[in-house]
Structure 1
């Protein structure tokens, strides 16, 4: 196992915590695409405390589950691979200057593609993981970001998990994921990548104002839920925004459930059903963005949550 990174920066002792707040999105029955569950059937999760940065956790952590947080010295963290140069800002946040960013967070056992015995989708769905039983599966991914410069304001941040490396090796079958996207113009949506590159998209929804020049918090949640109709597992997908970056006031801005109706092409990787949900875990959780040449970030974390 890789060494445990230093504990994340905490708020000064004695700093009072504001009352946590979570609000629901307004229903949008006219939006095409995968239908959301009725609001009364999916209440906002009750806040479950705060993480080491003082950021409200919306779902309780799984007891004994995996967790990762951006270290005080992020450049020395064996479980974090920014894949490009990052520098420390005077306020303690970090800066990335790249137009194509893929920052990876690994479980405590790390990432080793030689430990992935098969990419067969039916096998992965049956056993629940790609590399190891502690792969990132039911997770709450959190990050705070500030866009300083972007060449395409319609591009986006994407927090994603449930796969490994996204490249052409093994016919792209290691690159499965659900991608929760927050666009620089304030729109949000989820995308399903059955393999790399094979996309199916949920509908866009407005979430907030343009991001440039201000801090905003962004959470992507993915968790397996029972699918009563099919007698199997479905995947519940949710996005939350902390518009004023106070760590506390989170608004749910997107939700949908993939019960095999979001699309897909799992036969490419041995699956017996084209649109099967990605119910398995993967060894890499990624914080991604493109076409933003100067971005500050802080308080990144990935936690395994109760499904």
Structure 2
């Protein structure tokens, strides 16, 4: 009956159009919208060339590929999940070398890395692009695809990774070496000066190595804490490269364009309700960039009930949490071609 009504209505409409003179005048057709031209690059400080390491391989998916940005007149997407009842942030455990409040105490004798005074001379920091020093001491990156890597003190060497078998990694607790980045608090302060897609995001991530197609992508495991340029946050779980599961978006702050904001991602192994190993994931923002006022904006636990494709890399349980460490911690962003950054650090914390 519904289909018949549709056919009748369509026929009536066609007869009406024919009676009034078929077709619309070309003068009534909307004009094509001209494409916006990219702004001319602003003059800046001469860049310091850096050696470019081996490329990461297959690009990782970005929000614009799975979640098309709204049109010029469309409202920004609404976050898909409200922020739950907030849990108290941990009591501050002191400040780091930049004077930034640390939320979790550093592990005694644990791994630490911080952005050096001369970031271009730090062998443990691989920005994979040219960076320049700003007059205020911060740094600038002009690139639409950024992957800045921080290594533990033993560095990164894929030849030292004996296996990618998920059950083995979970059993021994690391991918390359016992001091891989695992229980970490990652911190960075950023300012977006220009972005071609405000739906994209910063992502601080760890618990894996390089994200490419080598070894069937099994080196590319991670938890990614994302802060989007429009103020939303979420965690993503990358069981291998490229196999993603996404947490729900939650509101965190106002749009980031043109202002400094601090962002922390914390991942720690904790016991679940049955005493098995789970991973606690937390995100924090420092909206006024005063180094002190941190607000928890995301809090979830992966107890093996989130996602699942670990069998691809030898796991016996598809949804197993990523409980092992990895040799690379990464500060990533896409589709923001002018970003200032400072006060970045990765610390191994007490779980």
TM range (shorter): 0.7 to 0.9
Of the three residues 287, 290, 309, the one matched with 1:243 is 287
Task: Give me the whole-angstrom Cα distance separating, in 2, the residues matched to 1:31 and 1:81.
Answer: 35
Shift of 1:236: 0.1
Gaps of 5+ in 2: 1-79
Task: Give me the whole-angstrom Cα distance separating, in 1, the residues matched to 2:281 and 2:152.
Answer: 21
- The secondary structure found in structure 1 opposite 2:215 is helix
Of the three residues 120, 143, 164, the one matched with 2:209 is 164
Shift of 1:43: 3.1
2:81 is the alignment partner of 1:31:
yes
Q: Which residue number in structure 2 is paired with residue 132 of structure 1?
A: 177
Q: Which residue number in structure 1 is paired with residue 296 of structure 2?
A: 252
- The secondary structure found in structure 2 opposite 1:234 is strand
Q: Which residue number in structure 2 is paired with residue 100 of structure 1?
A: 145
Q: Which residue number in structure 2 is paired with residue 47 of structure 1?
A: 92
Aligned length: 272
Task: Give me the whole-angstrom Cα distance separating, in 2, the residues matched to 1:168 and 1:81.
Answer: 20
Q: Which residue number in structure 2 is paired with residue 280 of structure 1?
A: 324
**Mapped contact 1:157–1:287 kept (Cα < 8 A):** yes
- The secondary structure found in structure 2 opposite 1:301 is strand
- The secondary structure found in structure 2 opposite 1:72 is coil
Gaps of 5+ in 1: 1-29
Shift of 1:44: 1.6
Q: Which residue number in structure 1 is paired with residue 121 of structure 2?
A: 76
Shift of 1:227: 1.1
Q: Hey, which bits of structure 1, 4+ residues long, moved more than 2 A?
A: none
- The secondary structure found in structure 2 opposite 1:62 is coil
Q: Which residue number in structure 1 is paired with residue 260 of structure 2?
A: 215
Q: Which residue number in structure 1 is paired with residue 345 of structure 2?
A: 301
Task: Give me the whole-angstrom Cα distance separating, in 1, the residues matched to 2:308 and 2:291.
Answer: 35
Task: Give me the whole-angstrom Cα distance separating, in 2, the residues matched to 1:160 and 1:198.
Answer: 15
Task: Give me the whole-angstrom Cα distance separating, in 1, the residues matched to 2:292 and 2:110.
Answer: 23
**Mapped contact 1:130–1:280 kept (Cα < 8 A):** yes
Of the three residues 191, 216, 226, the one matched with 1:181 is 226
Shift of 1:52: 0.3
- The secondary structure found in structure 1 opposite 2:135 is coil
User: Cα deviations across residues 50-103 of structure 1 (Å, max 9, x unaligned)?
Assistant: 000000000000000000000000000000000000000000000000000000
- The secondary structure found in structure 2 opposite 1:171 is helix
TM-score, structure 2 as length reference: 0.76
The CA RMSD over aligned residues, in Å, is 1.3
Task: Give me the whole-angstrom Cα distance separating, in 2, the residues matched to 1:218 and 1:44.
Answer: 14
- The secondary structure found in structure 1 opposite 2:324 is coil
**Mapped contact 1:192–1:264 kept (Cα < 8 A):** no
**Mapped contact 1:88–1:95 kept (Cα < 8 A):** yes
Shift of 1:264: 2.3
The higher radius of gyration belongs to: 2
TM-score, structure 1 as length reference: 0.87
2:306 is the alignment partner of 1:262:
yes
Of the three residues 164, 168, 173, the one matched with 1:123 is 168
**Mapped contact 1:193–1:264 kept (Cα < 8 A):** no
Q: Which has the higher strand share?
A: 1
Shift of 1:228: 2.1
Q: Which has the higher helix share?
A: 2
Q: Which residue number in structure 1 is paired with residue 6 of structure 2?
A: none
Q: Which residue number in structure 1 is paired with residue 75 of structure 2?
A: none
- The secondary structure found in structure 1 opposite 2:311 is helix
Task: Give me the whole-angstrom Cα distance separating, in 1, the residues matched to 2:263 and 2:308.
Answer: 26
**Mapped contact 1:130–1:283 kept (Cα < 8 A):** yes
Shift of 1:261: 1.2
